[in-house]
Amino acid sequence: MVTQSIYKSPAGERVVMDLYDQALARWPVPYEEHTIPTRHGDTYVISSGEPDAPAMVLLHGAGTNSAIWSGDVAVYSQHFHVYAIDLLGEAGRSAQNRPDWHSPAYAEWLADVFDTLQIDQAVLLGISQGGWTALKFATYQPERVSQLVLLCPGGVMTTRSSFLFKAIPLSFMG
């Protein structure tokens, strides 16, 4: 396991964590914070909603953290016990290591989180890299996923070079 911070400096990390604290201060529903030990590193989780409601797990995309769910969590928390989980190696409060993409590590990691939180089965919702992670977990332990929602799941298919030749010039035009 290689641990390398995504932050270029301790000052940059403090800025991101201060912004995260500000976002949590505006979290629209009551919540609890958890730090879950896993075999791939400590994992930060925000939970909200009725504890007896069905579980919903939210996985953010690359370069972000669970604060991105602040606009959605109030609605989700009306129907689910919501767990917003900071992915490993991203701009959140989970461990800074990034396991090998080609290994079962991300699925193992999420299984460890489910086990510690005593989640038998959950609706799994992921954006981009979170969608990739959700899909990885759903194929690893399908019996633990009641529904799977993937929003722009990154890494599902390899990018074709013909797409890049079209996309790069268009990116300069906004």
CA distance 139 to 126: 14
pLDDT for residue 159 is more than 60:
no
pLDDT > 70: percent of the chain: 86
Residues 39-42: contacts with CB under 8 Å, at least 24 apart: 39/108, 39/109, 39/112, 40/1, 40/88, 40/95, 40/97, 40/99, 40/105, 40/106, 40/108, 40/109, 40/112, 41/1, 41/3, 41/88, 41/94, 41/95, 41/96, 41/97, 41/109, 42/94, 42/95
pLDDT at 72: 96
Q: What is the CATH number of the domain that holds 100?
A: 3.40.50.1820
Tell me the residue ranges of DSSP E strands in the chain: 31-36, 43-48, 55-59, 81-85, 122-127, 145-151
Dihedral over Cα of 62, 66, 67, 68: its sign: positive
Q: How many domains does the chain have?
A: 1
Residue type, 160: R
pTM: 0.86
53 belongs to a structural domain: yes
pLDDT at 101: 86
Domain that holds residue 101: 10-171
114 belongs to a structural domain: yes
pLDDT for residue 37 is more than 80:
yes
44 belongs to a structural domain: yes
3 belongs to a structural domain: no
4 belongs to a structural domain: no
5 belongs to a structural domain: no
Confidence of residue 157 (pLDDT cuts 50, 70, 90): low
pLDDT at 38: 97
Confidence of residue 15 (pLDDT cuts 50, 70, 90): very high
1 belongs to a structural domain: no
